[in-house]
Structure 1
Amino acid sequence: MRNKKGSGNDWFVLQSLFNHNVPFELIHILDNLIKENKMDTAKITDVETMKKVKKLYKQFISRFSRVPKVFPIIISATEALNTDLVVSNFNVKSMKYALTIKELDPQYQVFISLAFGTQIYDVEAKLRKHGKDLYNFVGGLPAIPFQDEALKQWIVRHAGATDNLAIHSVARLWSHPNFPRGKSLAEMKAYILDHRAVTEWELAKRKYPEIFIRPFKCRIQDNPYKNENEQVRILDANDERQIMLGVLTACCQRLDGMGEACMIEGLINPDSGFLVFERGPKVLAQSWIWLTEDLTCLVMDNIELADCRKPEDILDLLFHWANQSPYQNIQMGTGFNRVKIGLPVQAKEMQWYRQMWMFKYTDAHRRVWIKKNGEMCIMLEE
């Protein structure tokens, strides 16, 4: 992609879709996204992804005679967006306002604007009034509000007054045939508890039937750590909660989310898995983890905190788990990570996993050491 002369195969799909006349502006945007590690090069060869990119580009040009400054962010997140409705939902005032919300990274700023349009002001005000986490609220929303006006209005009414996880769960199951739309929140929550995990697994099987027909394996060694009612451990390779973790911690690591690739990688790659921090039955935080290709280092790609959780809620668990881990080297990715600890990892110390899924997603382009050569690199306060 970075060198058009040397990557004819990479360009074949895009050239074919544009009848071998790809706009230079689009080439420049995609090239920069790949150079900045914000888009996987494999997506350039994926027909469905590039169809969405072409559609977005042509629709913006048709409506505005140009693409907006946030266009690179939009196309880098095509998997998590309903591309049929992105342009029609694009509102300049709403987008400008969203870009001022400091708690959100650029992708989430774009998403909340597209999802709620001019109602963004009402949603943000309600979340702040009730002390709800904006980052968590946006991160757990699927693209469904674009498609269903009734659901969008339900979310607008309940934002802030209802906990974020309940809103996310309602959004995920809203289109389920027997979901109690129009009933009380209590009835909705009862339905969610009975159906959420099974429904997510069935949706995943429906989308990727070739993957979900065989048992999964995880070769990562684990010494779980438990302290009274709290524990940290690697989930069993066939635990159905693995595809629920992004939902439970309101992040994009879920089916049809921007981080779907890491959820799939964690399932099918035996040198990858999922670390969970728990208090009783509740998930406090989770991390997609993987071994470097030479098997010398365990990497926590990120740590995603559940709704209203703070880093200090899991630091003691993390310290003791890492300290007793059989792995002498443990790193943690810092992209979109609100847990700020550890010593910086130098470029020469960076290694990657053996990729098995067709697309790659990672928050570990920058990392810190949690444990290095058997020595802990984080400290607990006295």
Structure 2
Amino acid sequence: MSITTGRMTRRDVVTTLGAGLVAGVSAHFLTDGAGSLLRLLAPQRPAFLDYIDEKPSAPALNNVSPSAKEADKAAESFAPRLLGANDTFWLVTRPYMAAVAACEGTLLIGKPNKIDPYHTAFGYRELTSLADHPRQLYPFWDSVNHRWDATTAAGAFQILESTWDDAHQQHHYWAPGDAFSPENQEICFCYLHNSTGGSAELMDGVQVLNQHITVSFDAFAKAMKRDGQEWASLPYSEIGKPTGQSTRSMWQAWTWFQWALWAKCGYRRAITHPVGVNVPRTDTLRWRPKKGRMHWGEDYATPMNTPILAPENGRISFIGEDDGAGHIVCFVPEGYPELEMVSFHCTGKFPHPPGTLVKRGEMIGYTGNSGIGTGPHWHVEIRIDGHPMEPRWYLGMATWFKDKEG
């Protein structure tokens, strides 16, 4: 009988021990009853592999564009049930994979992906084969040292040839088929995500309340910082600075992660646009170089006293006033306590006090010009766990998705 420890047989274990050590080990410990010793001597199986064994077959990067058709498929494929540890792990890790791929530039969230992320080489080149890591050098301009350099980065997560080979030397658990298959790219991602400590940081911030999954911003930011040891494009990564590789901002990564999480968990839904889908947007979430500060929301060109409507059922969480933001009203959707829509520069006339439950389409305030501004407009911020994401992803659900009939 062959004792199996992970994918290592008893013969594999004995071979790795070396002749001298094997001679000193009693035959008793090499019997079928000594599985615990053999497991101790064998390479440790990473905990995340328990999840990989049971993970869905579809690649992680599906269903992350704002296409209503794709989102409907994602929602239909998510069958509500009691969430176990495996479900929670993959429902969080796969959107995180999507955020990393978006930071690396292989996944264009909100845009057509002309090249499948798993078939993407550095510089948005297409791989014709996944039989193995392409092992090619791709040139790029080093803007810090003002010279040409090259990289072997390839696949959805832009894995270097040396990183790929090191992972295969250190680990023995891989999917059958093409060596550089989407599944093996994901497994390699998990090895790296686990080795940096990013996986532990991310999962520490996961909460499941009434079957609703949330992830804290602090946990996400800590995971991104740790994974910045492997991926130069991630926020605050130090390894990309010597060659001038651009790094993404944390709010961009947070936005992409949340949008992918909503897709994976079936949270994308039809809403009502608070000021109307035809009102032009005049500014976005961005850095304002002339003012030397961030603009943390979006502006819409609304006349004075334009009604602000509740996008969905929820409650008024706060009403207040600030010197710069003027009169403020905050709204929290029912069932999504981590999300808050904040409206600035209101008139100060609010139809409901804080704590009031309101229905979708019910008025919650009026646009104005209070505080510091250049004229009447609606400034809106969308915050998840108190931290901003791009409002267009939430507000866009007013046009991307339709109410289900019946």
| The two structures share one fold, judged by TM-score above 0.5 | no
Bigger proportion of residues as helix: 1
Say which one has the larger Rg.
Answer: 2
